[in-house]
Amino acid sequence: MQIPIEWLPATGQPEQLIVLLHGWGSDATALAPLAQALRQQFPQAAVLAPEAPNACDRSGALNAAASKPAIAAASGGRRQWYSITGLTEANWPDRVAGVLPALQQWVQAQQQRLGVAPAATCLGGFSQGAILSLALASRHDGLCGRVLAFGGRYAEAPLAAPRHTSIHLFHGGADRVIPAQGSRDALELLGALQGDATLDIADGIGHELHPVLIDCALQRLTSHIPLRTWQAAMGAGPPTSH
């Protein structure tokens, strides 16, 4: 995959790796505001935003019925991680699963290239990129230490919560493309599975990578102590809610 955004520390080796995945009908440059904010907050991090390997095969149509995974955008030569043509709730998990092996290998290759351990890796994305980030962390626990999921949801509910990854969910309260209820459901599910998850919802914001949500992400990354760290320090079992 091409990497339009690859920002490395000015000096020294990267201490963290932050990988950002763009949404459907978009490209890596759409993540520049988020990447820049993360770069300023974590100057010793390597911040990468790769390009999805495929051009969009159609223009999306807004599905106001909320529960459907359609994405609103005009293709205009933009990129997609997987096709939304003929996408349904039934075939959606398979579409996502088909992308994961190559994406997992790519992330691991970047970790090896840059000398950054999985625990110091943050995987994030918007919309389709958030969907993939959640799925990848669910399927490959320990591939990354954090997930930043903006305007996404699980394509398929996980049967177990990651034990080595903190999941941070961010959503616009007025999102009509992938409604915020999907993130609320994810938080409830992860809590029931004794996972480590947080949720920030910004009222009045739609399906966009809004600066308010970016600020929420920075706060979570700098202030949230992972549940696994608390457990190791206190020698206690996981709490029932967080």
Q: Which of 22, 168, 171, 207 is catalytic?
A: 207
Alpha-carbon distance of 45 to 149, in angstroms, equals 19
| Residue written as token pair 């935003």 | 49
Please give the single-letter amino acid code of residue 56: C
Q: Which of 26, 127, 138, 166 is catalytic?
A: 127
Query: What phi and psi values does residue 153 have, to the nearest 5 degrees?
Result: -170, 170
Annotated catalytic residue 59: no
Pick from 114, 118, 103: nearest CA to 162: 118
Q: Which of 26, 175, 183, 210 is catalytic?
A: 175
Q: How far is CA 103 from the centre of its chain?
A: 13
Annotated catalytic residue 27: no
Annotated catalytic residue 175: yes
In the β-sheet with 121-126, what is the strand arrangement from edge to edge?
Answer: 5-7, 45-49, 16-21, 121-126, 146-150, 166-172, 197-202
Alpha-carbon distance of 124 to 151, in angstroms, equals 11
Alpha-carbon distance of 212 to 151, in angstroms, equals 13
Q: Kindly provide the b/e burial profile for residues 85-115, where b requires at least 16 CB atoms within 10 angstroms of the residue's own CB.
A: eebeeeebeebbeebbeebeebbeebbeebe
Alpha-carbon distance of 208 to 4, in angstroms, equals 20
Annotated active-site positions, please? Answer: 127, 175, 207
